[in-house]
Amino acid sequence: MSRERSSAERGVLLQNPLSGISLRRHGGLIALALLLLFNIVFTRNFLHMQTLFVNVSQVATIAIVAVGMTLVIATRGVDLSVGAVMALAGALAPLIFMSSFGRANPGLGVALAIIVPLLVAAACGLFNGVLVAFLNVQPIIATLILFISGRGIALVLTNGNLQTFSNPIFSFLGTGRILGLPFQGWLALAIALFFAWLVARTLYGRYLLAVGGNETAAGLAGVPVRTVKIATYVISASLAGLAGLIVVAINSASDAARIGNLMELDAIAAAVVGGAVLSGGRAPILGAIFGAVFIQLVRYTLLANGFSDEVALIIKAAIIVFAVYLQQASRE
Amino acid sequence: MTTPLLRMTGISKAFNGVPALARAELAVDRGEVHAIVGQNGAGKSTLIKILTGVYQRDEGEIAFDGAPSTIASPREAQERGVSTIYQELNLVPLRSVTENVVLGYEPRTRWGTIDWRGAHRRTGEILSRFGVDIDVKAPLATYPTAIQQLVAIARAVSLNAKLVIMDEPTSSLDEREVEVLFGVIRELKNSGTSILYVSHFLDELFEICDRVTIMRDGRTVGVANIAETTKLDLIAAMLGRSAAEIQTAGMTELAATGDRSGELLLEAEGVATNRRLRNLSLKVRRGEIVGLAGLLGSGRTEAARAIFGCDKPTAGRVAMKGTAIDCPRTAISRGIGYLTEDRKAEGIVPELSVRENMTLALLPQLSRMGLVDKAREREIVERFIRSLGIKAAHMDQKVSELSGGNQQKVLLGRWLAIQPALLILDEPTRGVDVGAKLEIQAIIRRYVDEGCGVILISSEFQELIEGADEIVVLQEGESVRTVSNPGVTEDMLVHAIAQPKAKEVDA
Amino acid sequence: MLGDAFDLRTYTRQLGRSSTITVWIALLCLILFGLLRYDNFGSTYNIGSFLNYNSMFILISVGMCFVIMTGGIDLSVGSVAAFASVVAALLSPHGLWVALPGGILAGMAFGAVNAFIILVMRVPPFMATLATMLAAKGCALVLSGKQTVSVSWESNFTTLGMSSAFGILPWTILVTAIVVVAAWIVLEKTSLGRTVLAVGGSPDAAHLMGLKTGRAIAFVYLFSGACAGLAGVFLASGYGAGQPLEGVGWELAAIASVVVGGTLLTGGLGSIPATVAGALLFGLVFNILNFENGRGTISLSAYWQSVIRGGLLLLVILLQARVQSLGVRSKTS
């Protein structure tokens, strides 16, 4: 089958080696452009700074988690535990800086309230990674364990209570502004650029794509397949942990039952719309950002024009199916 | 003369313009055991898949049981009376023996539910006809391969098959099990069922078959009564020793120059693995090509995997310049490269570019602090694209868009780039066109002359005879004898491969 | 080669028999524990309300079991159940005999959409059902206007969820039992059921054996949708309202029950009774935690439930991973 594909593509590629890819890429960009155009013409107050601010602050956490999800999907995996890990990290942070130690040492408290949750998140990723890489558990099931119990642990830690706080240093994560735009927007951008660079330029990135593209061949070429997989799950969970901290900082409150709820779905959707394929081997990081922005913009457009949130949900579902269908069709 | 049960005439089939079958013929009589033999790629399995409706033919006629056949799917084939027992047993291992026999054609009770009692009984009856008495309710996977094979045949019988196709049925059976299978085949034959038997174990054909059809390059090159032919005749016909391509002077680009006093690189002694490798011993020196010869299934690829550290040895040891090899990473760090036989499954990473594929094994040396030195990478890739004559639009083209020969050169480049001390090449020229083949052979020779050691696995005798300094012959996972150049002839090699395991040390 | 056979023998033994036996033993132990420790554990009220609540999970677990046996997955069951509860609540004024089939058909409609996306559009089941999960949730919210939809108390709709057959056996339990038995018969006694298992065990082999694989796949998603639909009807009828926001995480609870019941996630092996046992096991853990809290000996919050669920799942996965690796090894050699 792939033989057929390669020769069929060869026919096209003789004329223009990039035509297939660029057309697909442009397709998404054209859709985004049309969406922007539509909004500029029809949506009231679209070209206001406030609109940008709202959208950026809403999309940032999804984008950050989607970056990790894209890496995991590139290994032919999926990480369902991101939402639960967000809750865990988000529940831990206030516990730390509101503890007696944290109150006594505010600076150190906040530092620990960022570092410790991230380490715990990374440990969750390690757990996922070991199950996947060493025990050959299917990723969807391996990460299902923490999906179920991660949020439970967070709820147990906080006893299910809403933790409210006012801690300006910590809240900067979610409410700070740089050049008039939300801090987390810049953070998401920096993370995306960093990981895009990581994928394109480093040993890890190359190994990641090789493992996802053909695990057997990669192993035979000396790629440390297990290490790469574990590292990827650790990255995904750490980014989820960071996103959890941001969500808590935005709200100046931590509700373990709600932080990161359904985040796994949004992140998978963003990654897939951005061009990640479930069969692995591709890690379009900037695509994931594009996917997150695209989905957010569709939602915003619908909401701003009087459609309800639930209609937006249905449209999102259609977009996901359509994106995967197009991928599938172009491969067959 | 009665009309044959099956007659296929002028069958052609091409995949993307690459012909797999060119006017192939096949005729099977009623109650006959008919063999098909041929090298890899001769078109045997394509022909069978056309017969069973997995593929559709481009042209040609098929007549089955007195009527033109229009079989379009495996189910239709079964219903017309053609049952196939594939090499990779196409059964469901987790389900019971009975289910595997009756699936899709279950006997029903009055209420339309499956009559399990009847199904178990019928399955038991068929199997006991084969002299097998087992618990048919147990999952198929709990039985050894031989029994599973018989279950597949029982399925064919229970579907009242007129023609049973067996694709390499004995490849994973031991001698005793083969005897049981042959008993079943004779029993089928006596009851009037025809059998189409595909096997690369030629000795078997003489024991069980009536006639044999020989295929080469998608064509039927001969049909013979098995009683009137010899094993050497068959091998000669399969290899097509008269073919012009092989007859031309300087048949391959591997021809040896003959210095073999180099330093000892690799030593394997008494190596056995779980993968059908039983006893492998060989030595490779600098500047030497050691060939591995043997029929399919003799353990050549398994030998390569053991040397490269993919399979853990259960006995014996492999040492590269004195240090043991325990996994591919160590092998690579010790300067061993392994060009695998299955380019698609174990070689290329299709989504990655030519450049990324080529430097995959070299990456650790190309990167500092985890950062890939792209300038050096491009320079190295550029060099290999030029020196290997890889035809790609540019180095960032997806490797899956290249032709087979060029993909192979990219993979060769992957290993040459690590400046290997030893290269293991498993069928390096299979499935590439003649031009690329000669180029690849020339490249290999160049590296060997520069002091690289090579283990060469090839089904093409010419490649081995002209290229290898020594040829280690494998039979059933065991290195049985070694023939040394100069002076090896094709007849000698054919004899060495075909002769049953003997006590002698050298040919 | 004989070695392989032995490995596989232990493998299938462990999976085919003992892992389903394990779940039954675990279930029995928990029941015994409960009976000995708490006075009211064996009371008609506790048993009735326990089964009544868990009947919804049993239903979707059985549907999920069929899907997983083909090697697929259905993430949409939770929101489909919520959607069906809304549909049933809206139809409830017309009586049970309209609302019940209505709810089931609503579930099957999403099952059909799943089957279409998977079979015709060739989208992997995971993505396909993920999308319908969102779509069903959206549809439930649109249809309900984001409110819980009260059912009609004038019609006989609430009979199903709130009263008992012959005065003792709650209707939901009876209906669930019928579905479970029917599912069990289909799986064990019909060609369709066997095809479902064959498709999951070895898709290529099933095709080459001439089985109707597409039909089997379409069936499992339709059946899973119908089960989710019925669970939704129970939800509306038993709790007096169509609840568009219910069903979050149900799919994962169902997957966990199926896995604990010894069904191989890669398909090809599964048991309906053991899946029911798995669902009951998870329900019991929660039930016992309630009793424990009621006694006041420990104050384990309800949040422990999910932690314990995850732990149980991990245990089963470790067991499965071990035996599976045996299977994989013998397949490659």
Mean pLDDT confidence for B76-80: 85
pLDDT at A6 over 50: no
Amino acid symbol at C288: I
Parallel, antiparallel, or unpaired for β C241-242 and C149-150? antiparallel
pLDDT at A16 over 50: no
CB contact under 8 A, B92 and C210: no
Q: H-type helices in chain C, by residue range? A: 2-12, 19-37, 44-69, 77-91, 96-115, 125-144, 159-162, 171-189, 191-201, 203-208, 213-239, 250-260, 272-295, 304-332
Contacts of B73 in chain C (CB under 8 A): 210
Mean pLDDT confidence for A58-70: 94
Contacts of B89 in chain C (CB under 8 A): 205
The domain ranges of chain B are 6-245, 247-335+420-507, 346-419
Q: pLDDT confidence of B87, banded at 50, 70, 90?
A: low
> What pLDDT is attached to residue C19?
58
pLDDT at C242 over 90: no
Q: What's the number of domains chain C is made of? A: 1
Q: Give the architecture-level CATH label for domain A46-331.
A: Orthogonal Bundle (1.10)
By residue count, chain A amounts to: 332
Q: What is the DSSP string of A166-222?
A: --HHHHHHHH-EETTEEHHHHHHHHHHHHHHHHHHHBHHHHHHHHHHH-HHHHHHTT
pLDDT at A92 over 60: yes
> What pLDDT is attached to residue C204?
80
CB contact under 8 A, B351 and A216: no
pLDDT at A5 over 80: no
- Closest-CA distance of chain A to residue B396, Å: 10
* B249-253, C46-50, C159-163, range with greatest mean pLDDT: C46-50
- Closest-CA distance of chain B to residue A133, Å: 17
B192: left (phi over 0), alpha (psi -120 to 50) or beta: left
Q: Which of C2, C12, C19, C184 to mutate to test the interface with B (most CBs of B within 10 A)?
A: C12
pLDDT at A225 over 90: yes
Contacts of C146 in chain A (CB under 8 A): 308, 310
> What pLDDT is attached to residue A7?
39
Average pLDDT of the residues of chain B: 83
| The two domains B6-245 and B247-335+420-507 share their CATH topology (first three levels equal) | yes
CB contact under 8 A, A152 and C141: no
Task: Output phi, psi for A234, to 5 deg.
Answer: -65, -45
For residue C202, the chain B residue with the least C-alpha distance is B92
User: Picking from A86-95, B141-150, B320-329, C245-254, which range would have the lowest pLDDT averaged per residue?
Assistant: B141-150
> What pLDDT is attached to residue A1?
37
Query: Does the beta carbon of A151 lie under 8 angstroms from any beta carbon of chain C?
Result: yes
Query: Which CATH number fits the domain that encloses residue C40?
Result: 1.10.3470
**Interface residues of chain A, partner chain B, Cβ below 8 Å:** 2-10, 13, 17, 201-204, 206-207, 209-210, 212-214, 216-224, 281-282
pTM of the model: 0.80
Q: Which residue has the tokens 């058909």?
A: C105
* A249-263, C224-238, C287-301, range with greatest mean pLDDT: C224-238
Average pLDDT of the residues of chain C: 83
pLDDT at B434 over 70: no
Give the model confidence (pLDDT) of C148-180 as tens digits.
888 888 888 877 777 777 777 888 899 999 999
What 8-state DSSP symbol labels residue C157? T
Nearest to A298 by CA among A282, A287, A314: A314
* A233-247, B49-63, C145-159, range with greatest mean pLDDT: A233-247
Q: Which of B49, B51, B94, B96 to mutate to test the interface with C (most CBs of C within 10 A)?
A: B94
Give the model confidence (pLDDT) of C282-309 as tens digits.
888 888 877 877 776 666 666 777 788 7
Task: Output phi, psi for C229, to 5 deg.
Answer: -60, -45
- The C-alpha atoms of residue B158 and residue B154 are separated, in whole angstroms, by 6
Mean pLDDT confidence for C7-27: 60
* A117-126, B32-41, B71-80, B476-485, range with greatest mean pLDDT: A117-126
> What pLDDT is attached to residue C331?
35
Strands (E), B217-352: 219-225, 264-273, 277-285, 289-293, 313-320, 323-324, 336-339
What tokens appear for A41 in the block? 């013409």
CB contact under 8 A, C321 and A137: yes
> Residue C124 is part of which domain span?
2-332
Nearest-CB residue to C268 (from B94, B155, B276):
B94
- Closest-CA distance of chain C to residue B46, Å: 15
Paired with B273 in beta bridges are: B277, B313
The domain ranges of chain A are 46-331
Give the model confidence (pLDDT) of A71-86 as tens digits.
999 999 999 999 999 9
Q: Fold for domain B247-335+420-507?
A: Rossmann fold (3.40.50)
Q: Which of B46, B55, B349 to mutate to test the interface with A (most CBs of A within 10 A)?
A: B349
For residue B358, the chain A residue with the least C-alpha distance is A221
- The C-alpha atoms of residue A106 and residue A171 are separated, in whole angstroms, by 13
CB contact under 8 A, C209 and B78: yes
> What pLDDT is attached to residue C300?
63
**Taking a C-beta distance cutoff of 8 angstroms, is the pair B35, B209 a contact?**
yes
- Closest-CA distance of chain C to residue A36, Å: 24
Q: pLDDT confidence of B254, banded at 50, 70, 90?
A: low
Q: Give the architecture-level CATH label for domain B6-245.
A: 3-Layer(aba) Sandwich (3.40)
Write out residues 466-505 of B within 8 Å (CB-CB) of A.
none
Mean pLDDT confidence for A210-221: 92
pLDDT at B447 over 80: yes
Mean pLDDT confidence for B175-193: 85
- The C-alpha atoms of residue B418 and residue B421 are separated, in whole angstroms, by 9
CB contact under 8 A, B94 and C264: yes
> What pLDDT is attached to residue C330?
37
Nearest-CB residue to C131 (from A150, A321, A328):
A321
Give the model confidence (pLDDT) of C243-278 as tens digits.
888 888 788 889 888 888 878 777 788 889 989 998
Nearest-CB residue to A217 (from B329, B348, B397):
B348
The interface predicted TM-score of the complex, written ipTM, equals 0.80
- The C-alpha atoms of residue B262 and residue B454 are separated, in whole angstroms, by 12
By residue count, chain B amounts to: 507
